[in-house]
Amino acid sequence: MHDSNEESDLKRHKADIKMERGPEKNKPPAIEHKAYARIGLLGNPSDVYYGRTVSVSLANFWASVKLEPSDDLVIAPHPTHDLVQFKSLGHLVDRLKNEGYYGGVRLLMAICKVFNNHCKDDGINLHEGNFTLSYDTNIPRQTGLSGSSAIVCAALSCLLDFYKVRHLVKVEVRPNLILSAEKELGIVAGLQDRVAQVYGGLVYMDFSKTYMDDLGHGKYIPMDTNLLPPLHLIYAENPSDSGKVHSTVRQKWLDGDKFIISTMEEVANIALEGRAALLEKDYARLARLMNRNFDLRRRMFGEDALGALNIEMVEVARRVGAASKFTGSGGAVVAFCPEGPSQVKLLEDACKKAGFLVQPVEVVPSRLNEIDLKTLLSK
């Protein structure tokens, strides 16, 4: 009886508090969206060079952004990734060494600015009202899995829903907005990752100059995820920086270097061939194309730029007969074991021995809803 009276008092107390705060039902609901890591399966890095790619959304890792209506517009720092309070000088130095100087606050600010400017330029009216943006992510840093763009992509989805303008911002344009936000911050990247994160699933992308000049974006074709064979992700706990790999090759390409231009065209053609291989479920051909993709990258960028640790991840997989290549610009590798489970076991053992983490790839289905699909149809 005593416990029952205490429970009744507690319930009445909670009810009194709710009445003092006012009715909860009038509070606008929070909006939350996820965006997933991605794997560049074939053709990368030709997306930055008017090429083609095939990319996969990776359910293993994601970033989430929450938008809650509020009196002021607040960009909330993450308790870990935007840390500004430390136990000691040593703690600060260690944190910068592992996490870098930048968290996600700058990314959220940049997409707010780019979104606002895009709507202004396109004559899209935005209603009054403020919000608080917060984020979380479990995408490992510097693994070439597109952790930064995932935060921006999830935030853009929140803004589209908060302002109720999803139907006015075409799906094909959204990757450009995400990339523009990152360019504001000096992040060097191409459209491939952002397309994969906006669309979800398995996507073939053609960034030919004709499309880019005429449309302002590439031609993006979603594919059936059931066409994919089992894939594995290999990554290092302390990877290299993925942001420095494109630099010298891009300058050579801009300067008209014939070797770089012709090799990059060959990389783009790998994606075209790979799309055909997937449609035919010709996985032996897919394995050859994955290996060829990395070999061409190695020839263009050189071993110093790619980094010994990154190359070793590829080589560990190849030593057991698996096909392997970078998922992005280094830090993680996608592997395919054409011989099945016994070969997967060899891969897992080899990675463990080398100190790398390995896990099966889980594929995200299409992220497009009915409103998104309608914007695709309205040309």
Quick check: 338 and 287 in contact, CB under 8 A? yes
Quick check: 137 and 64 in contact, CB under 8 A? yes
* Active-site residue (options: 193, 214, 255, 295): 193
3-state secondary structure of 333: strand
- CA dist 263 and 269 (Å) reads 10
- CA dist 372 and 187 (Å) reads 27
CA 171: distance to chain centroid? 16
Question: How are beta strands 357-360 and 74-75 bridged, if at all?
Answer: unpaired
Paired strand residues for 75: 133
Quick check: 173 and 136 in contact, CB under 8 A? no
Q: Which of 198, 221, 197 is nearest to 208 (CA)?
A: 221
3-state secondary structure of 67: strand
Q: In which residue are the tokens 């790979």 written?
A: 274
- CA dist 109 and 74 (Å) reads 10
What b/e sequence results for 344-366 when a residue is b if at least 16 CB atoms lie within 10 Å of its CB, and e otherwise? bebbbebbeebebebeebebbeb
Question: How are beta strands 130-137 and 74-75 bridged, if at all?
Answer: parallel
3-state secondary structure of 299: helix
SS3 content of the chain, % helix, strand, coil (to 5): 50, 20, 30
349 is annotated as an active-site residue: no
How large is the greatest C-alpha to C-alpha distance in the chain, in angstroms?
87
Q: In which residue are the tokens 């929140």 written?
A: 158
Where do the H-state alpha helices sit in 163-307?
174-184, 192-199, 209-215, 247-254, 258-279, 283-301, 303-306
Residues with a catalytic annotation lie at 193
